[in-house]
Amino acid sequence: MDALAGFYVLHPFWLWLAVAAVFLALEVASGTGWLLWPAASAAATGAIAQALRLNGLVSIGLFVVLAIASTYLARRYLRPVLEPKSPDLNDPSQRLIGQRGQVLTTFDQGRGRVFVDGKDWAALTDEPVPVIGQEVVVIGVEGSILRVRDLSN
């Protein structure tokens, strides 16, 4: 234990860098985004502790303050910037919502086929049955079936 304390006194940067690496490894394993900021705070604490020769308690206090502040600020101000404004890239069918198409077949019991985005799709509707050639808009996607509504309503 004396060796670890001596190492910390001489090289606080490396100890804090190891703490940052642990937080980053946990972040990669969890993928939540919550541990990214404590990892950055640990690295910053290490640099500050090395430059200013802070003792252990002061550097731990600095880490706690930086971790709380950076997590709060990132969640408060970066979330609106980082949230996707378009549908998830892993679910490209969601980009069809809001697009217009034409009815290809007569709808039977709310089921039919529509032409949207250059492709023929199975479609559902809860509204009055649209006729062939009528324009519809996609209001939802359920697997590979589009939920549509008549544009004239």
Range of the domain at 38: 2-82
119 pairs with which residues across the strands? 116
pLDDT over 70, % of the chain: 88
Looking at the predicted structure, is the pLDDT value of residue 12 above 90? Answer: no
Regarding whether 68 and 37 lie in a shared domain, the answer is yes
Q: CA–CA separation, 67 vs 104, rounded Å?
A: 57
| pLDDT (tens digit per residue) in 101-145 | 999 998 888 899 999 988 999 999 988 877 888 999 999 998 889
Evaluate whether residue 130 is within a structural domain. yes
- Between residues 149 and 94, the one the model is more confident about: 149
Domain count, the chain: 2
Regarding whether 47 and 107 lie in a shared domain, the answer is no
| pLDDT (tens digit per residue) in 71-104 | 999 988 887 666 666 555 566 677 888 999 999 9
Evaluate whether residue 87 is within a structural domain. no
| pLDDT given at position 87 | 56
Regarding whether 6 and 77 lie in a shared domain, the answer is yes
- Across 78-100, b (16+ Cβ under 10 Å) vs e yields eeeeeeeeeeeeeeebeebeeee
Regarding whether 67 and 26 lie in a shared domain, the answer is yes
- Decide: pTM greater than 0.75: no
Evaluate whether residue 26 is within a structural domain. yes
Regarding whether 121 and 97 lie in a shared domain, the answer is yes
